[in-house]
Amino acid sequence: MSLKDKFAGCERIVSFGCSFTFGDELSDIVRPGPFHDVDHKKPSNLTYAALVANHCEKPYLSKAISGGSNDQIVRLLCNHIRECPRDGIVIGWTSTIRTEYCGYELGHQTFLTGGDYRQAVIDKPEWGIFQKAHTEIMLNTPREHCLDTLTRNIFLVQHTLKQMNIPFVMINAFSDFPYRKNDLVGLDFHSPQSLYEWSESRLYAKGPYGHPLDEAHAKYAAELIRVYDEKTA
């Protein structure tokens, strides 16, 4: 079964992930100027996920969120498939050190060790305590624990989608460290190498903020399609 056949019965293809799946710094959404500013209300149609949908001749919807965490991916995905079980799914798993919390006043917020939310802390002082506590927790959390937590989430999502007969493709969009070979047993990854690592190893251009650009996404999508089709031939 080809990738196109896999998604043949779907109404559309919907993606979940972080900025790599949203399409930060890709040419169709970047604003003119030296800072590669992005309109975060308008996902790119040049991402690997959008190109997979185009290859499969399906409408495309992105629910990826720049700066999002794997917790967020799982939450948004579960909410989506309850309402739209006829959609096909593309998932780009992200950094293991991002964690989503739900606070009574703050709602759902993703935090990252190192203070990606410095400006938010300035604008909302109450976030400062939250960020400091989170950073201390993450700095004292073994990296293996982060990886094991992600692996469990991936197995949960994969099992749920299979039980619901929802076709899906999963990739590793950005990883903090390589997956061990044993972690991939039983997981429907086409490659343990992340989009970021794959594009960097092939010297594709990156934007000022480190995101792979148009050519990398196009070549990665073509490789994903090729490998999947050969694997299932």
Q: pLDDT tens, 28-39? A: 998 776 556 777
Question: Which pLDDT value is given to residue 114?
Answer: 39
Which pTM value belongs to this model? 0.82
- Residue owning tokens 């579960």: 78
Question: Which pLDDT value is given to residue 137?
Answer: 46
Measured CA distances, 219 to 25, 31, 47, 94 (Å): 16, 23, 10, 20
Question: Which pLDDT value is given to residue 119?
Answer: 41
pLDDT confidence bin for 164, thresholds 50/70/90? very high
- Cβ neighbourhood burial of 107 (10 Å; 0-12, 13-18, 19+): exposed
Q: Tell me the C-alpha distance between 213 and 25, whole Å.
A: 7
- SS3 state of residue 22: helix
Q: Please check the confidence at residue 123 and state whether its pLDDT lies above 80.
A: no
- The closest of 196, 195, 194 to 210, measured between CA atoms, is 196
Neighbours of 190 (CB within 10 A): 17
Total H helices, total E strands in the chain = 9, 6
Question: Which pLDDT value is given to residue 233?
Answer: 65
Over residues 120-145, the mean pLDDT reads: 48
Q: Are the beta carbons of 131 and 115 closer than 8 angstroms?
A: yes
Question: Which pLDDT value is given to residue 7?
Answer: 96
Which residues contact residue 156 at a Cβ distance below 8 angstroms, ignoring those fewer than 6 apart? 74
Q: Hey, what domains does the chain have and what are their CATH numbers?
A: 3-99+159-231 (3.40.50.1110)
- The model's pLDDT over 4-16, given as tens digits with 9 standing for 90+, comes to 999 999 999 999 9
